[in-house]
Structure 1
Amino acid sequence: MLAVDTGSGKTLVESTPDRLLPTASVGKIFLLHHLAELLEDDPSLGHLLLRKDSVAPVADSGLWQYLDVPALTLNDCARLVGSVSDNLATNVLLDHVGLTPVQAVAARLAPGGSMLHDSVRDVRTPEDPPMLSIGCAADWVSYFRTPHPTVMSWLAASTDLSMVSSAFGLDPLAHTEPDHELQVWSKTGTDDGVRAEVGLLDVGGRRAAYAVICRFEGEVVPVLGQMRAYGTLLLDALQDGYAAGPGPAQ
């Protein structure tokens, strides 16, 4: 399922954009958005120290589990979530702010039903929500038409450029310089049989919001190849428009 909006409501391509599918870590954006709104009201919250041992250890994506530092600021936890989808930082932040207000943000921002259902778990029991998050492409394209600027700052350093963004030719560890002709802000989600990327691409000031969410069986390599193909389509559309001058891409 996918949707790509190249500005002024013009759709480049879409397929079942309203279908809800598992989106793994993509739903962490709702947590980041809630934090960004809290910081609007009280910027000092960003300096609050949060301890990694306030929650149970959790594996897979992230860096904090490998670091010695026992506590990080709320801002730094959000940066870890945005840049490396840090599971431990996610759970520490959710423990601090609570899941309920984050879900209220999701209900407000995502009329199609996209939702963060739970904290990150190494093992899901029958009593737990069956998946971390669900989402539809329409919700995420809508979000990235007018994203929160603080959320964008946290997503700017995202290192996972393995999906749609693999077509953009960026250095995964260094692609945030504002003078670059091409910039991307994205969040990915990975789970067994799930690959998802949502975000915003800017080429010379021409922008497109996009969301590609895949549920599949079998090998992942063909799925990643198709996601890259959508990235190439998106990039070509914006580059053609950039070469032609100002105005929305066709």
Structure 2
Amino acid sequence: MGIAPEPKRDAESLRGSRRSNRRLPRRAAIGRRSFTSTLKVLDQLAASGARVAVRITDLDRGSAVLAGDDHEMLPVAGLGVVPLLVEIAAGFESGALDPLEIIDRSALDQVAIAGVWQHLKAPALPLSDLAVLAAATGDALATNALIERVGLPAVRARIEQLGLAHSALLDVFRDERGPDDAPHVALGSARELSELFAALVNSEVVSAGVSAQVAEWLSLNHDLSLVASATGLDPFSHENDEHGLLFVNKTGQDAGIRAEAGVLAGPRAGVSYALIVCFDDLSITHRLRAHEAFRTLGVDLMEYVF
């Protein structure tokens, strides 16, 4: 508090600055590379009838550390807005969109399932602020405003341009889904989501500027309730961690759906990851069992990068 913010840096240089040449002794390193706990809890979830997909990629080597059904296309709820943020950032960079263009809330269909804009007095906000709300708070109304502005066809074209063959943004957020609506907001695969986040921090999504902008928005994400719960980061201020932890993530949550993808980098290693769990949300026990899988993965990831 009271310290001036650091100058903005692109995502690649930021990742590099958080890493050092420190390495664990060989024996200790081997012990910390195990994802036995994660595999156990994911196997238990799958045995209970849940659909599970996971992908972890070592950023330095570019190889998979852990993969399971990572090609499968599953509902990912709000996690599917990342390509939308890419489209918005690309529009800002090209000049096709004005970051200060004002969007009036009254012109939108109201949706109350998530977010803060519906509770604010400001009846209109600029596109840049709506992007922050969508990334940081999962704001459904702000996300719908962004979709309304650029259109689903443009986002789908961007998804195709990014080479995401198993990902789709199908619809806006709705309080209730009728028979004529798409069954889900978005679909995605763990492999493509993990690769997308790796590309973001390596400045490979559209351009270095677009990659840095999207990574900056996502670094503001307040939802650290799943994988990120193991990081010990402050949900409201974790851009510049004093222990050298780089973390960028996005979650998706809906009835029977929990999904998260991101990048976690520490002094020893860096990974991109994605975990999707679709389960029968029959009781709080079923829900907590799914959440526990994410938290277990978070612990294993922390051991891997530190």
TM-score after normalising by structure 2 = 0.75
Q: Does 1:65 align with 2:149?
A: no
Structure 2 residue identity aligned to 1:203: G
DSSP 3-state at the match of 2:298? helix
- Output the CA distance in 1 between the equivalents of 2:265 and 2:106: 39
Count of aligned pairs between the two proteins = 239
Structure 1, residues 76-97: CA drift from partner, whole Å, max 9, x if none? Answer: 0000001001100011111111
Residue 184 of structure 1: how far off its partner (Å): 1.1
Q: Comparing 217-226 with 62-71, which one deviates more in the overlay?
A: 217-226
Contact between 2:88 and 2:97, CA under 8 Å: does it hold in 1? no
Q: Does 1:175 align with 2:238?
A: yes
Show the 5 A alignment for 1:155-166: 155-166=218-229
- Output the CA distance in 2 between the equivalents of 1:197 and 1:44: 28
Structure 1, residues 126-172: CA drift from partner, whole Å, max 9, x if none? Answer: 11111100110011111111112111111111011111111111111
TM-score after normalising by structure 1 = 0.91
- Output the CA distance in 1 between the equivalents of 2:166 and 2:258: 18
Higher RCO by CA contacts (8 Å cutoff, separation 6 or greater): 2
Detail structure 1 runs of 4+ shifted over 6 Å in the superposition.
Answer: none
Consecutive unaligned residues of structure 1, counting only runs of 5 or more, are 240-250
1:74 to 84, 108, 127: 127
Contact between 1:54 and 1:92, CA under 8 Å: does it hold in 2? no
**Equivalent in the alignment of 1:146:** 199
Structure 1, residues 42-92: CA drift from partner, whole Å, max 9, x if none? Answer: 287111111111211101211000000011111100000010011000111
Consecutive unaligned residues of structure 2, counting only runs of 5 or more, are 1-52, 201-210
CA RMSD of aligned residues (A): 1.5
- Output the CA distance in 2 between the equivalents of 1:38 and 1:26: 20
- Output the CA distance in 2 between the equivalents of 1:140 and 1:207: 16
1:134 to 187, 194, 199: 187
**Equivalent in the alignment of 1:204:** 267
Q: Does 1:6 align with 2:58?
A: yes
Q: Comparing 144-153 with 81-90, which one deviates more in the overlay?
A: 144-153
- Output the CA distance in 2 between the equivalents of 1:207 and 1:157: 19
The structure whose Rg is larger is 2
Residue 207 of structure 1: how far off its partner (Å): 2.2
Structure 1, residues 98-136: CA drift from partner, whole Å, max 9, x if none? Answer: 111011112222434111101111111111111100110
**Equivalent in the alignment of 2:142:** 89
Structure 1 residue identity aligned to 2:58: T
Show the 5 A alignment for 1:26-41: 26-41=79-94
